[in-house]
Amino acid sequence: MERTAVLGRLSWRFATVLEVTAETDQTHSIVLDAPDWPGHLAGQHVDVRLTADDGYQAQRSYSIASAPSDEQLVLTVERLDDGEVSPYLVDELRAGDRIELRGPVGGYFVWRPTDAVPALLVAGGSGIVPFRAMLREHGAAMSAAPIRLLYSARTFDQVIYREELLRLAARDGIDVSITLTRAQPAGWHGYTGRVDTALLRQVSWPPEEHPAVYVCGPTGFVEATANALVGLGHDPGRIRTERFGGTS
């Protein structure tokens, strides 16, 4: 009997890996051919499921790195050394492999080109991934809404999408600020040190402008950043967060 799709039901589908590219030592982008992909919004994610030979399954959620207008679906995954799924995705996956995924999921941590208010995006480490989708979408849709990105990475080598962010920053309406917390290359003109109240005050829109605020990164980073933003007077109801776990 032919199966009938139930409206709104999520189903697992196989996607074929077209290419895996290194973004940094710890982070790879996986370009996927996902037949019948229904499309997504910038900021949504997918659930990825791996099945071992003995039937054991492990499942994790990953932000989508590609914009809705991009031709292919891209996930960017950071290797967690004690992780169960990410070391396989980063180290073992090759072109031609197939992975199981379902999605897109989530509607809370998304940015739409129709959003007219200024947006502040604050990323820690691989928290940049959903923001890359948002910034690409901003450009593709020629949105007039101003966007500011504040991105915290440990070192210059750990800045994901470095070249692309610099290109995006050259566009009207997009400001990109990077702060390096551990070490800076010679001649570094960006910010240094962790994201704190002083840096957020300098980079963010004033609370009176009622910006939409998105914060994504490790749990400790997100909590400290969200607390600092509330301390600066931002409405907690306008701060959307996405925590990865981990406390660094």
Partner 1 sequence: MTDRLDGNAIAGALQEVFGREMTTATGVCGHCGDSNRLGALAVYLAGPGTVARCPGCDAVLLVLAEVRGVTCVDALGFADLQPAG
| Other residues' Cβ atoms within 10 Å of the Cβ of residue 74 | 21
CA atoms within 13 A on the CB side of 124: 25
Angle, helices 162-169 vs 129-140, to 10°: value is: 40
240 binds partner 1 (CB under 8 A): yes
Beta carbon nearer to partner 1, 121 or 178: 121
241 binds partner 1 (CB under 8 A): yes
Q: Which of 33, 34, 47, 141 binds partner 1 (CB under 8 A)?
A: 47
Helix (H, G, I), strand (E, B) or coil at 147: strand
Phi then psi for 92, rounded to 5 degrees? Answer: -105, -25
Min separation Cβ 54 and partner 1, Å: 16
* Candidate ranges 23-31, 70-78, 105-113, 198-206; the one touching partner 1 (CB under 8 A): 105-113
Among residues 203, 195, 198, which one has the least CA distance to residue 222?
195
Interface mask toward partner 1 for 118-157; x: CB under 8 A: ----------------------------------------
Q: Please report, as residue ranges, which positions from 156 to 215 form the binding site for partner 1 (by CB under 8 A).
A: none
Q: Which of 13, 79, 102, 162 binds partner 1 (CB under 8 A)?
A: 102
Q: What number of chain residues touch partner 1 (CB under 8 A)?
A: 26
7 binds partner 1 (CB under 8 A): yes
What does each C-alpha distance from 68 to 72, 136, 137 come to in angstroms?
9, 9, 7
Helix (H, G, I), strand (E, B) or coil at 90: helix
Q: Please report, as residue ranges, which positions from 220 to 239 form the binding site for partner 1 (by CB under 8 A).
A: 223
CB 122 within 8 A of CB 230: no
Instruction: Note the residue count of the chain.
Output: 248
114 binds partner 1 (CB under 8 A): no
- Residues in contact with partner 1 by the rule CB under 8 A: 6-10, 45-47, 61, 102-103, 105-109, 219, 223, 240-247
